[in-house]
Amino acid sequence: MSISRRTVLMGATAIGATTATAWGFGHTASDLLHGFLGEAKAKGITGRSLPPEYTVDAVTGEAHPNPGQRISYTMCMGCTTMCGIRVRVDRASGEILRVTGNPYSPLSTDPHISYATPIAAALTSLSGFEERGLAGRSTACGRGNAVVAKQKAADRVLRPMKRVGKRGGGQWEEISWQQLIEEVVEGGNLFGEGPVDGLRAIRDLETPIDPENPEFGPKANQLLVMPAFKSGRLMMAARFAKMSFGTRNLVAHRSYCGLSMRAGYAALLDDLDKQPHLKPDYRHAKYLLFIGTAPGNAGNPYKLQGTLMADARTTGGVRYAVVDPVLTNSQNHAANDAGTWVPIRPGTDGALVMGMIRWIFDNDRFDAKFLAQPSPKAAQAAGEASWSNATHLVIDDPEHPQIGAFLRRGMIESGLAEEEAATAMVIDAASGSLTAAAGAPARLFHSGTVTLPDDSTVAVATSLALLKREAERHTLADYAADCGVPEERIIGLARDFTSVGKQAAADCHGGTMHAAGFYTAYAITMLNALVGNLNAKGGTTAGGGRFADVAKGPRYNLLAFPGQAKPKGVDIGRGGFAYEKTSEYKRKVTAGQNPYPAPAPWHAISQPLGAHWLASALEGYPYRAKALITWSSNPIYGIAGLQKEVEDKITDPKRLPLIISIDPFINETSRYADYIVPDRTFYETWGWSSAWGGVPTRMSTARWPVVDCATDKTPDGRHIDMETFFIDVAKAMSLPGFGDKAIPDADGVLHPLNRAEDFWLRAGANVAFDGAAPVPESDDADMALTGVDRFRKDLEGTLKSDEWRRVAYVYNRGGRFEDADKAYAGDTMARQYKKGLQVWNETVGTARSSMTGVRFVGCPTWQAPAFADGTPVDSTFPLSDWPFRVVSTKSQLRSSHTNGIVHLDALRKSNAVGLNAEDAAEAGIATGDWVRVTSPGGNAVVGQALVRKGIGRGVIGIEHGWGHRELGARTHHVANRVFTGRPENGLGVNANNLGLLDPTTTAPMVLADPVMGSIARQALPARMEKTAAPSGA
């Protein structure tokens, strides 16, 4: 028998298939061999290869593109990183052949090539010529290639649909574009269930929703618009909803994705509104600490982090630790011993970090020189790349009305200008005298009293002293007992983190999404302040930012237009508005009642909270909505505990009269829609995006239709999609910002917005002209090679004569990317974050809980996961009754929207319920057994067990992205056609179905962080038992 590469692979795969059968996943094993390699068409490794993308002359290095293909540079949407990629498209059929990396993009190539590199030379940089492709390797991950299948999925919605019968019943009819626009705008007795207000009637910018509660705002706020993540198209939805229609209620998915991380960083970075974040400088760090995130397994930028960590492990330039209840491939590797896994009890990361902070204080391991600089001027004089408020004095008197606020110069002196009066006070390090923060170091630790001009005294303490006091609330032994990590391990982490100066960084993400998430994330990010690593090479960076696109740019102002609305009022999820400012609160006070608790939390210092929208709207607290538009979002699947709470209420049109979903597919949320508007899929869309903080250079990634859109067309020939829907609704309602005179250029001349290209191409003009000089003009050959010539008529017809070739130059390269050599300026980041690090955040420290009236702590502290009223979750649902805590983990290849893709299903069709080997032995559970996991309130999921040692005791780990009940898993009827559900699309379990409601609120609300309102999808209490296999399994 001859053994070829293929037979070896087949043998290895057969072993995997056998293992899958033993594991209990027989449905996977039956398809694995064929799905993985298919059937061989010829001997040798090239039997199923595609024709080459291009060839390269071995002598000259000249690239010769395949004339039968075009090479289009665009943006991936397989996950929220949105990498720059290049798409190979067959010119004859228009089919996508393969997706690979964009060598110009820092998200796909390290280091990325110079932006000035000609297109053909870029191809040479990826080739074997002079082995350039080894250093210039540019990749796409498995998801980037696999999502191509979504374009032609059998369950894709291509024409407008209207429900028939009961909402959620799976019965639809296709309707014309004209009927769709008329009915959603004008309303009427649309379903034979009584009158429904259309969008025209809802848009009332003057009449209050509730005259008794005028702060709620006008009736226009009764339109809710829920997009998905910032996919690069969000600003079109924002233009319609907030800027034109005038609703206060537009929000994406942050509150049920990673808000706790964002809020923790925002508190540190003094920007709770925009919520910036930091990422490690992977290339030069010497020690990295990951808590609640796993680079290479999850996080953002997902692919780049994995690439840089793999390089660091291989070269031995960095040591790192990953604190996680579950062992992932981030530290489960064979390269070397640089990485350490620290298993931890779910929800207790805050205890571990506060234990580290205590040890750092006890052993003087903090960067005193950095922390002593109270201002940018002082930091510059000391040679520091950033500064903090560690030395600023905070009012520490429990009887003082401004407790938690900074002592400011205006409280000490009179007759000052506003800016001078706002200056924080410090104790001068040299003289010990009270002075305004200026250009000299100040005392780090001080607690005492200050005499005010009226001869009264007030207790004060420095921010750092208050942080130290919070750390000292518990002993190191207490912290260790709470988190399940031994004291010596906590000390080891703290010692390692503080042993490399500023070349250490701590990071976190979705693992902090539990009911103590904010203070956990704030504590983790505070470690960066204690070593002074912000803006330092090898420390942390806020990223290089983006070029102006949808902005007030150098060519067009896409953020303003004549007649623009100014939304006002209260977010329906009660985010960003203080309970103490509500009429409800004032009425209770006037009546002599205790105003606390509110029926449900008001998170005054948070952002709009989409995670709480549906429960709030359906219950009517604070007010009811009249219409909901979802766009490619799926909150019922994504919000832990929401499905059971809303699945009966949302079918009642009296609670929410109109639901419109814009989506290529029917998901767990859009199944309840009254109308479904088809939309473009990944590689058919327009958009502009940038990178998260992990890229230190400036960049903007372009997305454009590299293949034809498959949706139906409007009568005037435009493809139906999100942009077309909002444009036509706006024009039907005569809303501002749309139509023939909608977009002002730099000279104030108004240009049309009648189609998507009018908006996105002008954003491209801003990108092309931003910065010190515009980009060059593209020639015809590059446009032909990249496929940009397919919309040349749109470029020429939309843009000015000096713009369109420059915009084509940008699209040729898939965006605009600053060169890699611009990342650093000596030992610091070239692009720096300017605000000071907040050891004490005044906004947090002066806010109150709407449930208890108690002020929040303005610095990191250890608080166990708790309900809205502060009651610890473990006291209500103790381990004795609920011995497990559920965590969700991320897959390298799976997202919530990538089920039913054959290429990914061939690898694994289902997830499993992971548990520790010792727990399994005690329960008599083996790998492949069916188990039922139940959480308080009766929520339950059934799945197959995966017994492993790489998971903590008392932990259930469930990989995210499976357990769908829609997205092709359920049968739908459209007129006389049946779209038969595929059971394999619904395999596995969704950990979010185990989420629970908060029992301490009178208005229904899912369990969330008490401070910021981010939902709790981690550390969920649960029980587990063996059960019978489901029917058909």
- The predicted-structure confidence for 296-317, as pLDDT tens digits, reads as follows 777 788 888 888 888 877 787 8
Strand positions, DSSP E, 409-501: 425-427, 434-436, 447-451, 457-462
Token pair 């032995």 in the structure block, residue: 921
Read out DSSP for 110-141? SSPPPTTS-HHHHHHHTSSGGGHHHHT-B---
Rounded distance, CA 407 to CA 697, Å? 38
Q: What is the reported pTM?
A: 0.94
Element (H, E) at 179: helix 177-186
H, E, C per residue of 923-970: HCCCCCCEEEEECCCCCEEEEEEEEECCECCCEEEEECCCCCCCCCCC
- pLDDT value of residue 114: 97
Please give the Cα distance from 605 to 575 (Å, whole number): 7
- Pairwise CA distance, residues 534 & 385, whole Å: 7
Under a CB-based contact definition with an 8 Å cutoff, are residues 242 and 224 in contact?
A: no
Distance CA 572, CA 161 (A): 28
Please report, for residues 231, 234, 808, the alpha-carbon distance to residue 686 in angstroms, rounded to integers and kept in the order given. 10, 11, 14
Assign residue 970 a region: left if phi > 0, alpha if psi is -120 to 50, beta otherwise? beta
Domain chopping of the chain, boundaries: 1-49, 52-140, 864-1026
| Integer Cα distance of 253 and 312 in angstroms | 33
Interatomic CA distance for residues 312 and 332, integer angstroms: 14
- Which amino acid appears at position 140 of this protein? A
DSSP 619: H
The set of residues, in sequence order, having a beta carbon less than 8 Å from that of 499 and lying 6+ positions away, is: 287
CA 687 – CA 678 distance, rounded (Å): 17
pLDDT computed for residue 242 by the predictor? 98
Contact 80, 300 (CB under 8 A): yes
Name the phi and psi angles at 788, rounded to 5.
-65, -25
Spatial strand order in the sheet of 339-342: 339-342, 319-323, 287-291, 504-508
Backbone angles phi, psi at 847, to 5 degrees: -90, 160
**Residues contacting 708, CB < 8 A, separation 6+:** 94, 684
Query: Hey, is 694 helix, strand or coil?
Result: coil
Q: Can you say how many angstroms the Cα of residue 334 is from the centroid of all Cα atoms in its chain?
A: 30
**CA–CA separation, 580 vs 526, rounded Å?**
29
Alpha carbon distances (Å) from 451 to 235, 406, 424, 434: 51, 15, 16, 10
Strand, helix or coil for residue 631: strand
- For 754, other C-beta atoms within 10 Å of its C-beta total 17
| Contact assessment for residue 426 and residue 436, using Cβ atoms and an 8 Å cutoff | yes
Per the CB < 8 A criterion, the answer to whether 403 and 388 are in contact is no
Both structure tokens of 823: 């990342």
**What type of residue sits at position 243?**
M
Sequence-distant (≥ 6) Cβ neighbours of residue 860 within 8 angstroms: 350, 353, 354, 357, 467, 470, 519, 522, 523, 526
What's the pLDDT score for residue 333?
59
334: alpha, beta or left, given left = phi > 0 and alpha = psi -120 to 50? Answer: alpha
Assess contact for 482 and 351: CB atoms under 8 A: yes
What pLDDT does 19 receive?
39
pLDDT digits (tens, 9 = 90+) for 231-245: 889 999 999 999 999
Bridge partners, residue 941, by sequence: 933
| Structural contact between residues 840 and 389, judged by C-beta atoms closer than 8 angstroms | yes
Distance between CA atoms of residues 563 and 365, nearest Å: 57
Contact at 8 Å (CB) between 92 and 80? Answer: no
Q: What's the rounded Cα separation, in Å, for the pair 116 and 550?
A: 24
Return the closest-CA partner of residue 322 out of 841, 889, 809: 889
For 480-501, write each residue's pLDDT tens digit. Answer: 999 999 999 999 999 999 999 9
Distance of alpha carbon 552 from alpha carbon 558, whole angstroms: 6
pLDDT of amino acid 332: 63
Parallel/antiparallel/unpaired status of strands 977-979 and 972-974:
antiparallel
Q: Which residues contact 47 (CB under 8 A, 6 or more apart)?
A: 6, 40, 41
Residue 475: CB partners within 8 Å, gap ≥ 6? Answer: none
Helix residue spans in 531-612 (DSSP H):
583-590
Closest CA to 246 of 273, 275, 225: 225
CA angle 335, 337, 342 (to 5 degrees): 120
Please state whether beta strands 457-462 and 699-703 pair in parallel, antiparallel, or not at all (unpaired): unpaired
For residue 530, the SS3 value is helix
* CA 254 remoteness from chain centre: 6
Positions of the chain with pLDDT lower than 50, given as ranges: 1-45, 334-335
Question: What is the second-level CATH architecture of the domain 864-1026?
Answer: Beta Barrel (2.40)
Helices and strands (H, E) in the chain, number of each type:
32, 39
**Could you give the CA distance from residue 133 to residue 127 in angstroms, rounded to a whole number?**
5
Q: Give the amino acid at 789.
A: D
Using alpha carbons, select from 496, 533, 462 the residue that is nearest to residue 827: 533
Angle CA 889–890–893, to nearest 5:
145
Evaluated on CA atoms 292, 298, 304, 306, the torsion sign reads positive
User: CB–CB of 553/770 below 8 Å?
Assistant: yes
Cα–Cα nearest to 600, from 586, 592, 617, 590: 617
d(CA 959, CA 176): 41
The values of phi and psi at residue 399, to 5°, are -90, -10
Find the radius of gyration of the CA atoms of the chain.
Answer: 29
Preceding amide of 622 cis, omega within 30:
yes
Residue whose tokens read 């009890």: 345
Contact assessment for residue 988 and residue 962, using Cβ atoms and an 8 Å cutoff: yes
Count Cβ neighbours within 10 Å for each residue of 152-187 and write b for 16 or more, e otherwise.
Answer: ebebbbebbbbbeeebeebebebeebeebbebbbbb
